[in-house]
Amino acid sequence: MADTAIPPDTAPHAPGTAARRRPGRLPAPERPRRRAPSRATAGTGRLAALLVSPTLLVLTVVVLYPTLMALDESLYGPKGLDPKTGFISDTEPFVGLKNYTDIFTQAGDRFWNAFWNTTFFTVVTVSLETLIGVAMAIVMHRAFRGRSVVRAGILVPWAIPTAISGLLWKWIFNANGIANVVLGHQVLWTADGFSAKIAVVIADVWKTAPFIGLLVLAGLQVIPKEVYEAARLDGASALQQFWRITLPLVKPALMVAVLFRCLDALRMFDLPYILIGAQKGSVETLSMLAQNEASNVRFGPASAYAVLLFLYVFLIALAFVRLLGADLIGGAGGTKKRKSRAVRTPRRRVREVTA
């Protein structure tokens, strides 16, 4: 058949075209040598490319280029000191993948410590924030007197810049601060140890649970009242309504919120840096480690850590989308991420069934 003569190059990318072709099984003989016609119509295709190109250009300059530069930089080691002259050499030696393989040697202890700290913070803070955020959203959603005051009150922490909230909590967790007065027991929160981890978790949950609350509230507000009326008629209890109606319907919004929080928590830097301080083993995250290396003029290892963090974040985002079905395309309107390309149509099913 003629099908074999023309490579189906564009078919997977442009489903519309594929559908148009299939009935006749005709390999579009009109303009066999050109690709353009296979994309909807030539005019709109060109217009689309034109409209998208500024964005692509900006992304190339601010995302792609630096990422490649970081990759390149991560292959170089720190500049050496010439013991005779006492001067640091001008060039960085090429070390290949040594900066990466070093994490499996003893020098990698600090990396793995930072890695597990990052993971710990992400898992613990995001779990707590999800629970508290959903509870906040439900409270905010209820109609009662003074609702606007409660809403505003809940959102205040989110409006405070992280650096400022870091300072606030630093005072609260001072050896003679409010936290210890309330507890009636002196905990040295800012000393390097497990208590420092707890301090960071508390401050982070306080600040970002409202973010999840806000997104979930948006999700709650689009659930039609009729669904609940029908459920009540059928005799569903409040708990059943929550599990069977609220949660599934709010899931797309919730998933987006949780994914965003995860990505945010994985690159956590400012809060532990300000609240506890740099180079504290108990709270050092990957971002802090990379920054610390860079500030000690070791850009190679710093870039390597940054690249590893980038991969880690990327994998988590991918896993999230695949396993938990975060519906980034349709869910909460307008919140699109670069990684959303990974989402394919099967996920849509969930939404269609529930809605």
- Interface positions with other proteins (CB under 8 A): 61-63, 65-67, 69-70, 72-73, 75-76, 78-81, 86-88, 90-92, 174-176, 186, 188-193, 267, 269, 277-281, 287, 290-291, 294-297, 299-300, 302-303, 306, 309-310
To the nearest whole angstrom, how small is the minimum distance from the Cβ of residue 167 to other proteins? 13
Report, in Å, the least distance between residue 266 CB and other proteins. Answer: 10
- Between 6 and 297, CB nearer to other proteins: 297
* Shortest Å, Cβ 326 to other proteins: 20
| Residue whose CB is less far from other proteins, 119 or 291 | 291
User: At its nearest, how many Å lie between other proteins and the CB of residue 57?
Assistant: 13
Residue 16 vs 281, nearer CB to other proteins: 281
Cα 81 to Cα 77, 78, 88, 93: the distances in Å are 12, 10, 4, 12
Question: At closest approach, how far in Å is the CB of 185 from other proteins?
Answer: 12
Helix H segments across the chain? 15-21, 42-59, 65-73, 98-101, 109-141, 147-159, 162-172, 178-183, 194-221, 225-233, 238-241, 247-266, 270-275, 286-295, 299-319, 348-354
Residue closer to other proteins (CB basis): 52 or 58: 58
With H, G, I as helix, E, B as strand and everything else as coil, classify residue 81: strand
Complex with other proteins: residue 210 or 300, whichever CB lies closer: 300
* DSSP of 156-216: HHHHS-HHHHHHHHHHHTSTTSHHHHHHTS---TTSSSHHHHHHHHHHHHHHHHHHHHHHH
3-state secondary structure of 39: coil
CB nearer other proteins, residue 32 or residue 93: 93
Question: Cα–Cα distance between 88 and 266 in angstroms, integer?
Answer: 35
**C-beta of 186: minimal distance to other proteins in Å?**
7
